[in-house]
């Protein structure tokens, strides 16, 4: 008589073993696992709609998460809130030993709070504070294995054996959440070059601006929460002869914490504006279309987590992002020589590479998460609106890759995203914008969505 029992493994390790062994035994290697979003979930509907190519594009409080150097773009008090749908992977196994049937799929869940942040411009620079759900994984598995056999009849030992059936049911639900609370500061500086200008016998020195350098840094408090629920039950059709097993439940709820940092820098060329008075302030320069930047969030170790009594270290990988953005405008056609060309529609093109390091997961000094590199591309179009109107809107498209950092649990995926925004300004010059975004996972066939609201005052 063979009875399958659910082993007590570390959190996620047990799920990995169950899913992996079942998939192999059932020939389900080609089933669709969910994408790895433990460290690639991202924040902000604008970033979501632009394929998360946001390191050089960020212009709101979510720069605390992407690149704190970009906080310099926030010139007014700002409050942001975002809700986003998440997904879960469901693995099911039924049958008899040696002939198991497995199914694996991904489904969506109701939206939940994904981001909350504020940005406050100071005399020099901008301060940002935010909460972000930067990673999420919900892995569910269930199995119903039926074992049959024969046992002697205790009431008639010389008679025919009795046929018994054992139905063993196992369920497991593992939920992992990575939350980030960030305090960041960003500031920019106009870079100038002194030039000597000779006019007759007079020689003057003039400061000529040529670049804008922004840099920022922040402290990041990270909390990783595990929630594991497991059940096991065996039901027998002959409980007096072949005993059943009562429902056994296991629940683990634990958290690990760490304090890290994030740093970032952005550079964009500038030139003197037409209305420049020879200074080097924002009113005296015009930004060039091209900007480049990078950000780095360090690798963090969450010690003291316990998986069924076993102490192990859980590491969060570092994230290095290198990006560029090109912003261009269309201009009105002058009606005569005295008429100036006025900017009209605006377009933003962004691309970046995000690399995440290998990281320990279940045991110390064992890299269960391998190093991965993802690619992100985004476009935003902001049509011209008459300044006398108090409304404004934009359209966004994006694409990103989601490389698989853990081949046991997740699969490679691509995501195509689109979104937009609608902004209105009231009589007190308070600006409110609503930003929806959608993302389609091409391998999993799942549509995810997000929507955020922003207040500038």
Question: What digits encode the pLDDT tens for the residues 54-70?
Answer: 999 999 999 999 999 99
Percentage of the chain with pLDDT > 70?
Answer: 80
pLDDT at 293: 96
Higher pLDDT, 443 or 373: 373
User: Could you give phi then psi for residue 15, rounded to 5 degrees?
Assistant: -65, -40
Residue 24: its pLDDT value, please? 36
- Domain of residue 302 covers 13-456
Q: Which of 108-112, 244-248, 432-436 has the lowest mean pLDDT?
A: 108-112
pLDDT, tens digit (0-9, with 9 covering 90-100), for 284-334: 778 889 999 999 999 988 866 655 444 455 788 899 999 999 998 776 555
Residue 5 counted as domain residue? no
pLDDT at 283: 62
- What is residue 76's predicted lDDT score, i.e. its pLDDT? 92
Q: Is it the case that residue 17 has pLDDT exceeding 50?
A: no
Residue environment code for 319-354, b if the CB has 16+ CB neighbours within 10 A, otherwise e: bbbbbbbebeeeeeeeeeeeeeeeeeeeebbbbbbb
- pLDDT of residue 415 exceeding 70: yes
Q: What is the 3-state secondary structure (H, E, C) of the chain?
A: CCCCCCCCCCCCHHHHHHHHHHHHHHCCCCCCCCECCCCCCCCCHHHHHCCCCCCCCCCCCCHHHHCHHHHHHCCCCEEEEEEECCEEEEEEEEEECCEEEEEEEEEECCCEEEEEEEEEECCCCEEEEEEEEEEEEEEEEEEEEEEEEEECCCCCCCCCCEEEEEEEEEEEEEEEEEEEEEEEEEEEEEEEEEEEEEECCEEEEEEEEEEEEEEEEEEEEEEEEEEEEEEEEEEECCCCCCCCEEEEEEEEEEEEEEEEEEEEEEEEEEEECCCCCCCCCHHHEEEEEEEEEEEEECCEEEEEEEECCEEEEEEECCEEEEEEEEEEEEECCCCCCCCCCCEEEEEEEEEEEEEECCEECCCCCCEEECCEEEEEEEEEEECCCCCCCCEEEEEEEEEEEECCCCCCCCECEEEEEEEEEEEEECCCCCEEEEEEEEEEECCCCEEEEEEEEEEEC
- Judged by average pLDDT, the poorest of 43-52, 64-73, 112-121, 275-284 is 275-284
Q: What is the pLDDT of residue 361?
A: 58
> Is a pLDDT exceeding 50 seen at residue 34?
yes
Confidence grade of residue 370 (pLDDT, cut at 50, 70, 90)? confident
Distance CA 115, CA 452 (A): 9
Banded model confidence at residue 276, pLDDT cuts 50, 70, 90: low
| Residue in this structure with the two tokens 């709609």, named with its chain if needed | 49
Mean pLDDT of 367-393: 84
Domain membership flag for residue 124: yes
Least confident of 45-49, 87-91, 335-339, 398-402: 335-339
Q: Decide if pLDDT at 165 tops 70.
A: yes
Q: Which residue has the higher pLDDT, 19 or 414?
A: 414
Would you say 52 and 398 are in contact if contact means Cβ atoms under 8 Å apart?
Answer: yes
The span from the CA of 364 to the CA of 396, in Å, is 43
Lowest mean pLDDT among 9-18, 119-128, 171-180: 9-18
Q: Domain for residue 122, yes or no?
A: yes
Q: What is the mean pLDDT of the chain?
A: 82
Residue 8 maps to a domain? no
Residue 89 has pLDDT above 90, yes or no: no
- List beta partners, residue 136: 177
Residue 324 is predicted with a pLDDT of: 96
Q: Extract the tokens encoding 311.
A: 């102490």
The reply to whether 288 falls in a domain is yes
3 assigned to some structural domain: no
Q: How many residues does the chain have?
A: 457
Quick check: 341 pLDDT over 70? no
Tokens of 263: 């740093």
Q: What is the mean pLDDT of residues 80-96?
A: 88
Confidence of residue 240 (pLDDT cuts 50, 70, 90): confident
Structure confidence by residue, pLDDT tens digits, 188-229: 999 888 776 666 667 677 778 889 999 999 999 999 888 889
Q: Which of 109-123, 381-395, 407-421 has the lowest mean pLDDT?
A: 381-395
Asked whether residue 400 is domain-assigned, the answer is yes
For residue 309, how many other CB atoms are within 10 A of its CB?
A: 8
What pLDDT score does 306 carry?
Answer: 59
Among 111, 127, 115, residue whose Cα is nearest residue 62: 115
Q: What is the mean pLDDT of residues 338-348?
A: 68
Place of tokens 């958290």: 255
Q: How many CB atoms lie within 10 A of CB 415?
A: 25
Neighbour count for residue 239 (Cβ, 10 Å): 11
The pLDDT of residue 280: 57
pLDDT band at 395 (very low <50, low <70, confident <90, very high): very high
Query: Domain for residue 94, yes or no?
Result: yes
Structural domains of the chain, count: 1
Kindly list the distances between the CA atom of residue 337 and the CA atoms of 276, 333, 334, 341, 416, in Å, as whole numbers in the listed order.
Answer: 21, 11, 7, 10, 45
CATH of the domain at 372: 2.40.160
């Amino acid at each position: 008589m063979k009875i399958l029992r659910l082993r007590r493994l570390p959190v996620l390790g047990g799920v990995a073993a169950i899913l992996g062994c079942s998939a192999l035994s059932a020939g389900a290697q080609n089933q669709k696992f969910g994408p790895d979003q433990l460290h690639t979930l991202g924040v902000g509907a604008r970033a979501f709609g632009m394929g998360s190519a946001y390191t050089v594009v960020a212009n709101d409080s979510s720069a605390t998460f992407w690149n704190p150097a970009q906080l310099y773009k926030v010139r007014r008090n700002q409050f942001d809130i975002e809700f986003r749908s998440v997904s879960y992977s469901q693995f099911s196994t039924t049958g008899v030993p040696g002939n198991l049937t497995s199914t694996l799929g991904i489904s969506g869940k109701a939206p939940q709070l994904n981001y909350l942040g504020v940005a406050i411009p100071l005399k020099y620079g901008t301060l940002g504070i935010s909460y972000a759900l930067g990673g999420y994984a919900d892995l569910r598995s269930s199995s119903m294995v039926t074992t049959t056999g024969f046992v002697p009849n205790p009431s008639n030992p010389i008679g025919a054996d009795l046929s018994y059936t054992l139905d063993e049911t196992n369920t497991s639900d593992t939920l992992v959440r990575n939350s980030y609370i960030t305090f960041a500061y960003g500031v920019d500086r106009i870079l100038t070059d002194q030039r000597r200008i000779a006019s007759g016998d007079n020689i003057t020195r003039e400061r000529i601006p040529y670049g804008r350098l922004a840099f920022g840094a922040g402290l990041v408090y990270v909390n990783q929460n595990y929630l594991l629920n497991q059940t096991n039950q065996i039901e027998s059709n002959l409980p007096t002869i072949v005993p059943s097993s009562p429902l056994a439940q296991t629940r683990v709820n634990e958290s690990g914490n760490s304090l890290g940092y994030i740093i970032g820098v952005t550079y964009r060329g500038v030139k003197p504006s037409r209305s420049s008075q020879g200074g080097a302030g924002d009113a005296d320069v015009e930004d060039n279309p091209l900007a480049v930047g990078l950000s780095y969030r360090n690798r963090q170790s969450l010690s003291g987590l316990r998986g069924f009594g076993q102490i192990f270290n859980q590491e969060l990988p570092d994230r290095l992002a290198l990006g560029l953005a090109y912003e261009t405008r269309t201009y009105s056609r002058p009606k005569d020589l005295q008429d100036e060309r006025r900017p009209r529609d605006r377009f933003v093109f962004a691309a970046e590479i995000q690399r995440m390091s290998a990281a320990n997961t279940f045991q110390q000094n064992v890299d269960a998460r391998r190093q991965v590199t993802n690619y992100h591309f985004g476009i935003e179009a902001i049509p011209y609106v008459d300044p006398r109107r108090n409304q404004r809107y934009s359209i966004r498209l994006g694409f990103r890759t989601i490389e698989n950092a853990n081949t046991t649990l997740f699969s490679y995926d691509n995501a195509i995203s689109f979104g937009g925004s609608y902004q209105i300004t009231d009589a007190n010059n308070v600006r409110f914008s609503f930003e929806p975004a959608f993302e389609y996972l091409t391998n999993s066939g799942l549509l995810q969505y997000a929507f955020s609201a922003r207040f500038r005052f």
